[in-house]
Structure 1
Amino acid sequence: MHYAVLGAGAMGLRYGILLQAAGYEVDFVDTWDQQVQTIKAQHGVYVSRDGQNRHLVPVNISTPEAYHGDPDVLIFFTKQMGLADILKRSAHFFNDRQYAVTAMNGMGHIEKLNQYFKPEKVLGGTALIGTVLNQAGDVDFIGASGAGSMNIANQTEQPDATTHQIVAEFQAANLNPNLTTNFLGTLLAKVIFNSVINTLCTMFQIQMGEFIQAPSAEKLGKQLINEAFDVCERAGITLLNTREEEWATIKYVSSETNPLHFPSMYQDLSKQRPTEVDYINGYLYDLGVKYHYEAKTHEFLRHLVHLAEFAGTFDVASLTAVTEGKH
């Protein structure tokens, strides 16, 4: 099938480039002008794996306004905060035949996709695949070839022939998809994973492999997992994993699959971009409140990340000058 990846950041590039390498036609659409201009100027994307073997991969990229292709499947990999904008700007090439697939972090994106696509054409996924965008036009795939996996489910929980074809082509691209028929349970399992790994690694500026070695990692992780499961039970959501399996997944991915990975939230914070914490820990807290339950650790971490965002807005040189009496 013909794919268009909307959001050519770290994960969008990885999915699209792997599908392209498997022989499928892939276009990229992005709203970040520097990314589009850089990739066009260098005639492709520089791709590394764990910092090694950097090489140029030719790709076709456009802004939404300049794209006039007719893809069969649209893959969405924007940040939660940018999805509404790219949907609006891309609507001119949407049609009723297309399927929308997403494995974005957090929650809040499905409602936005439903404004443009019928629920039976929307597939939600969760990716346990580490990737880093070093700079515009330069991406690093974390982990060995074939590392990582994903879960994916139809919003209607009724897979059709096109769904099975998408899954088969994702498998051919070494994305290791697992098709489920539990839509919300699939999405929330990754939210819980990220509520532990993304947030804690970000707060302490450590890689996943470093986090999992900490003596306090298990206690902190299980505290967050238990709160999240308590929320989901009250909301009537059956998750893919048990509490014990969720921790086992975090432990395995952190120690075996992606030990060198800095999660995307850390990448955002380090580059002074807004994080998605409101769509991860914040989402779990807000969902719990609807059912008269407070996931207080999640709310505490949510505000700590926002404090770290705020702290990053200060000019360190100016502050140093002030403390030294130079102003």
Structure 2
Amino acid sequence: MKYAVMGAGAMGYRLGVLLQEQAGLQVDFVDTWMPNVDKVRDQGGVYVSRDHEGRHLVPINIFTPEDYQGDPDVWIIMLKQMQLEEVLDRCAHLFKDHQVVFSAMNGWGHFDKMLKYFPKERIYGGTAMIGTVLNGPGDVDFIGKSGAGSMHLCAMTEKTTDLEREMASDFKAANLNPILTENFEGTCLAKIIFNSVVNTICTMYQITMGQFISYPGAMDMARQLIDEAYDACERAGKQLIQTRQATLDEVDYVSRVGNPLHYPSMYQDMSRGRKTEVDYINGYIARLGRENDYVCRTQEFLTHGVHLAELAFQVHREEASR
């Protein structure tokens, strides 16, 4: 199948480059960040490293929505929640009836936006437990050894299709370790709950996942957040794809073994002066709880904590520039 990645950021590059390089598939990249588009065109591709080593140029095709003329079978959408609506609107003329969309974006809210352009029968969601850092325009660093991490894939209709199996086969060939599920909401919520622990705490304290998990109280902190999130989901009648303990074990394994050198994407955003997605992660869990007569006090506190960290980081940047 032919793929087009909408959003040539850290994870967009990782999925697209691996599908192109490892699976040998045709992949196009569509992006709206012009410094990134211009840099890739000037240098003839994207520079790719792994754990800060082996930097090399990978030739890719990159376009803006306005100059793209391709017709992919699958759109992979990997954008920030705050960008999605505008980029979908700019890409709307490119969508065809035979195309499907897959997204493993962080947070919750993106599928409602996608439903304006694609029926649920052509939407697939999932997770990507894979660490990647965008160093700058046209320069990405894959964190973790080759084959590190995994991803989940689920149809919005919760009925496994032949096309979904074909996507999973392509992702497997790309060494992305896909797992098919039949619980769409529970699958996507699994990543939100994971991120509500690791992304948020690492961002507030400006540390890597490995540094977080090395703290003796890390698992107590993780358990408190996971219990709150599961309590909120249970009160909302949402069935998750794994147990609380399995989620806790995942936080430990991914932080300690899978991606110990990784600064999560939320920290990457804050450190570059961009707004974080905390409102779509911890904030979403907190809202879900309150809608079901349950107050997630720690999730609410951390949502405020990250916004305060954003403010503090911006103040420090302004002071340093004087």
Distance 1:164 1:9 in 2: 26
- Could you say which residue in structure 2 is the equivalent of 1:254? 255
- Could you say which residue in structure 2 is the equivalent of 1:280? 281
Unaligned runs of 5+ in 1: 322-327
Unaligned runs of 5+ in 2: none
Shift in Å, 1:310? 1.6
- Could you say which residue in structure 2 is the equivalent of 1:145? 146
The 5-angstrom pairing of residues 237-252 of structure 1 reads: 237-252=238-253
TM-score, normalised to structure 2, is 0.98
Distance 2:291 2:231 in 1: 13
Deviations 1:55-105 (A, max 9, x none): 000000011111111000000000010010110000111011101000000
Range moving further from structure 2, 212-221 or 6-15: 212-221
- Could you say which residue in structure 1 is the equivalent of 2:188? 187
Shift in Å, 1:313? 2.6
- Could you say which residue in structure 2 is the equivalent of 1:9? 9
CA separation of 1:278 and 1:56: change in aligned 2, threshold 3 A: same
- Could you say which residue in structure 2 is the equivalent of 1:209? 210
Deviations 1:189-211 (A, max 9, x none): 11000000000001111110110
Q: CA RMSD in A?
A: 1.2
Shift in Å, 1:316? 5.3
Distance 1:227 1:190 in 2: 15
Aligned-partner SS, 2:4: strand
Range moving further from structure 2, 250-259 or 310-319: 310-319
Distance 2:260 2:31 in 1: 29
Distance 1:174 1:122 in 2: 23
How many residues are treated as equivalent by the alignment?
A: 321
Aligned-partner SS, 1:212: helix
Shift in Å, 1:129? 0.2
Aligned-partner SS, 1:95: coil
Shift in Å, 1:319? 8.3
- Could you say which residue in structure 2 is the equivalent of 1:18? 18
Distance 2:318 2:179 in 1: 49
Given residue 57 of structure 2, which amino acid in structure 1 is its aligned partner? L
Range moving further from structure 2, 305-314 or 171-180: 305-314
Distance 1:310 1:226 in 2: 29
Deviations 1:95-138 (A, max 9, x none): 11101000000100010111100101100010100000001000
Given residue 130 of structure 2, which amino acid in structure 1 is its aligned partner? I
- Could you say which residue in structure 1 is the equivalent of 2:70? 69
- Could you say which residue in structure 1 is the equivalent of 2:102? 101
TM-score, normalised to structure 1, is 0.96
Distance 2:205 2:187 in 1: 28
Shift in Å, 1:311? 1.9
Given residue 193 of structure 1, which amino acid in structure 2 is its aligned partner? F
Distance 2:172 2:320 in 1: 51
Given residue 5 of structure 1, which amino acid in structure 2 is its aligned partner? V
The 5-angstrom pairing of residues 127-166 of structure 1 reads: 127-166=128-167
Aligned-partner SS, 1:54: strand
Shift in Å, 1:317? 6.4
CA separation of 1:320 and 1:39: change in aligned 2, threshold 3 A: closer
Shift in Å, 1:160? 1.1
Distance 1:17 1:173 in 2: 9
Tell me the percent identity: 57
Shift in Å, 1:314? 2.1
Distance 1:61 1:91 in 2: 17
Given residue 14 of structure 2, which amino acid in structure 1 is its aligned partner? R
Distance 1:240 1:150 in 2: 13
Aligned-partner SS, 1:313: helix
Does residue 234 of structure 1 match 2:249? no
